[in-house]
Each structure stands twice: as C-alpha cells, then as structure tokens.
Amino acid sequence: MPLKLFSQTNLIECGTDEAGRGCLSGPVTAAAVILPANFKNKLLNDSKLLSHSSRERLRILIQDQAVAYAIAHVFPKEIDEINILNASIKAMHLAIASLKIAPQHIIVDGNRFKEYRDCSHECIIKGDSKYLSIAAASILAKTERDRYMIKLHKLYPHFNWAKNKGYPTKEHRAAIKEFGDTIYHRKSFKLLPTEVL
C-alpha cells in the first residue's frame, strides 16, 4: 500500500522520527521534514526496510526536494539525565525548532510525544511505513546518526561502531567487557547482561 503524503492537508505539516533509541552508545538522533504538496516517491519507506545504498540515495533526494528539513542529536550524558524517552522527544523538538518554516501540525512515529508550542500533533504507530514525511525523517535521522557513529569508530575502533552503530550486538558487549565503557556510552543502559558481570 503506498504511503500517504499528508494527514492534514489544510495545515503546514511536518513528519518527525528518531534513530538510535535502543543503542548502548552514541546520541539519539531525530529529523523533521516538510514535503511539498506534489511530492511522490515509490521507494521511500521506513528506513529499517531499506538497504544502506537506498537510504543514501533517498537522503540526497529528500534534502534536495523537501520544503524544509532539520536534524538534531541528544547525547549520552543528557540521555542518562532525562531518560531515553524524554531524550527522543527532545531531539524531535530540537529538529522541529530548527526547520526554516514553522509547521502547524506534526505527525510523529510512535505513541509518545509532548506538546510542541501551539502546534497540533498526532502520534502514529508505524508511522514511518504509513506517511512519506515520517519515512523521510526516519531516513535523515538514520543516515546522519550512522555518519556520526562512523566518525566515533575512528576514535574507538575496538567497539566496531562503524558496523554495529552502537546497538547491543554480542561483539559490542564483548568489547565493553574487555575495554570498559566510554564517555559515548549511555551509563543508564544495561551495558552488559547480568550473567557476564
């Protein structure tokens, strides 16, 4: 079933989504996207369903064709202070605040959000596979966060963040056990399973 362009056609609408919520290290990254009324793309979908090369091609297309887009990070220290749910919502708010055009309505992937200024908003479960602007935001958030983790990989290659992007793989956890954590790890997360402590 093709993705829909807008939920509210009479308002300036942005879609927003985050990436990296379940990671042990690195930021949670969010993007917000306002698409033009004539936007069409058959490939655009939830970033998790696309290959790396497809995401990269779509990233360029979205940045070229969007009416407005913005990306924001919230880093591990703050994630530990305010928890990952609040950090995810804060990242989305920061991205929306950075848009060059102020939206009047926000569509959000997932089931949790907080009021943003005087905008109306809608939480949509699996919204990144239902609405083009949320799918576009998921791609920008994912590709930007991946780039950031590849940069961090150069500082700490033993965690192999270029491959696992900070997610809790066996390899990542084995490296934490061997080398300890870093300032880029989320200390409030369970970095190691109980049985290996």
Q: Into how many domains does the chain fold?
A: 1
Q: In this predicted model, what pLDDT tens digit does every residue of 98-140 receive, in sequence order?
A: 999 999 999 999 999 999 999 999 999 999 999 999 999 999 9
Among 99, 92, 97, CA closest to 74: 92
Position 3 pLDDT exceeds 80: yes
The answer to the question of residue 21 being in a domain is yes
| Confidence category of residue 195, pLDDT binned at 50, 70, 90 | low
Mean pLDDT of 1-28: 95
Per-residue pLDDT at 2: 84
The answer to the question of residue 193 being in a domain is no
Sequential DSSP letters for the chain:
-PPBS-S-TTS-EEEEEEE-TT-SBS-EEEEEEE--TT---SS---GGGS-HHHHHHHHHHHHHH-SEEEEEEE-HHHHHHH-HHHHHHHHHHHHHHT-SS--SEEEEESS-----TT-EEEEETTGGGTBHHHHHHHHHHHHHHHHHHHHHHHH-GGG-HHHHTT---HHHHHHHHHH---TTB-TTS--S-GGG-
The answer to the question of residue 130 being in a domain is yes
The answer to the question of residue 129 being in a domain is yes
**Which CATH number belongs to the domain containing residue 118 in this structure?**
3.30.420.10
Domain that holds residue 47: 13-145
The answer to the question of residue 171 being in a domain is no
| Confidence category of residue 1, pLDDT binned at 50, 70, 90 | confident
Per-residue pLDDT at 49: 84
Per-residue pLDDT at 45: 85
Per-residue pLDDT at 196: 44
Per-residue pLDDT at 197: 40
The answer to the question of residue 188 being in a domain is no
The answer to the question of residue 30 being in a domain is yes
The answer to the question of residue 60 being in a domain is yes
| Confidence category of residue 12, pLDDT binned at 50, 70, 90 | very high
Q: In this predicted model, what pLDDT tens digit does every residue of 24-81 receive, in sequence order?
A: 999 999 999 999 999 999 888 878 888 889 999 999 999 999 999 999 999 999 999 9
